[in-house]
Amino acid sequence: MTHLELSHISKQFGQTAVVQDFNLDVKTGEFVSFLGPSGCGKTTTLRMIAGFETPTTGKVMLGDADITDMAPNQRDVGMVFQAYALFPNMTVAQNIGFGMKIHKEPESAIKERVIEMLALIHLEQKGNSYPAQLSGGQQQRVALARALANRPKVLLLDEPLSALDAKIRVSLRAEIRAIQRKLGITAIYVTHDQEEALSISDRIVVMFDGRIEQVGTPFEIYNFPQTAFVASFVGTLNTTDAEVIDPVKKLIKIDGVQLETAEELQGRKKGDKIKIAIRPERLNFVSVEKKANVLDCTVENITFLGSVVRIQVKIGSNRFNMDTFNNPFLELPKIGAKEQVSCSREAVIILNS
């Protein structure tokens, strides 16, 4: 069931179009991430859902209600900010109970909910502390509890982990996801961190230059990027120009070498120029004799990245990265060695230009 619906949303600041024709349906209990680089319009879109910005055109529906022009304090939407935004003059408990107090709920109900929320974020002992006495991770958990205490219809999270160090980010994102699942609340999460988006979301909306590039599950976004931008932004990807040889047999060539793809080439004809992509982990050195998708290469560089070893090879005039899992008995080629690499048909992704 659609819970939040954004139809043909656009936002203009002066002459600059920050968001253009944004359409999205979010189901009840779904966790959707807006992913994109700085300035792509993801935060502006979130702020339009929260009511801090008014769309230039389009409509925001929450359930059956049109909330496009509704004031932020009327929307029943909880928000977690990058800068925590806890009220420094109030204790943790007062912060969490603030929204309920505004809604004039009975003191006993507020007290009960605050205790419940403190247990949810595992800060039972910190009710009487002030925000300045907490660490960054603790403050953000309090901000999450405060946003949830009012039982909002939608939870909005604007890069909530950006100000935290790497280890806390990983543990807190898992905690946020677990709490969201437990409460079954619809959540919209803004991030520029692809790993964060891939690990936490039911669906990801990849944005660039104010437009949606692709909407899909993390699996779809990573494995089947539909545009060159998504391919380059999500994960590491080798992209290159290719030419269609036989659209029916799904044959293409790069630098004179023939490759077979599993993707449809309908609508394309022989000689058409296309862009293809291959993930580094889908390339392997040829160990047994293979006939299809084998490319001659020269090893140019080897970089040790911990769990992965990245090998840069030159195929024709293209430089490709290939990733292989590290193990103590891994036999690596020498730099300058002539080798052959191959990939499966499914690994050759055709990008929409």
Q: Is 147 in the site for other proteins (CB under 8 A)?
A: yes
85 near 143, Cβ under 8 Å? yes
Q: Reduced to 3 states, what is the DSSP secondary structure of residue 174?
A: helix
Residue 76 vs 255, nearer CB to other proteins: 76
Of residues 183 and 309, the one with the C-beta less far from other proteins: 183
Position 219 contacts other proteins (CB under 8 A): no
Query: Which residues in the 41-60 window bind other proteins by CB under 8 A?
Result: 50-52
How far apart are the C-alpha atoms of 59 and 78, rounded to whole Å?
Answer: 19
Of 8, 37, 72, 109, the one binding other proteins (CB under 8 A) is 72
Task: Considering the complex, state which of residue 133 and residue 236 has its C-beta at the smaller distance from other proteins.
Answer: 133
Among 36, 41, 78, 160, binds other proteins (CB under 8 A): 78
d(CA 169, CA 175): 10
Contact status: 171 vs other proteins (CB under 8 A): yes
| Residue among 159, 108, 118 at smallest CA distance from 141 | 118
- Among 10, 43, 150, 321, the residue binding other proteins under the rule CB under 8 A is 150
Opening angle at CA 283, ends 279 and 288, nearest 5: 160
3-state secondary structure of 70: coil
Of the pair 18, 100, the CB lying nearest other proteins is at: 100
Output 132 or 330, the one with its CB closest to other proteins. 132
The H-or-E segment that residue 176 falls in is helix 166-183
Please count the residues of this chain forming the interface with other proteins, following the rule CB under 8 A: 40
Residue in 6, 3, 28 with CA at minimum distance from that of residue 181: 28
Contact characters 106-135, other proteins, x per CB under 8 A? ------------------------x-xxxx
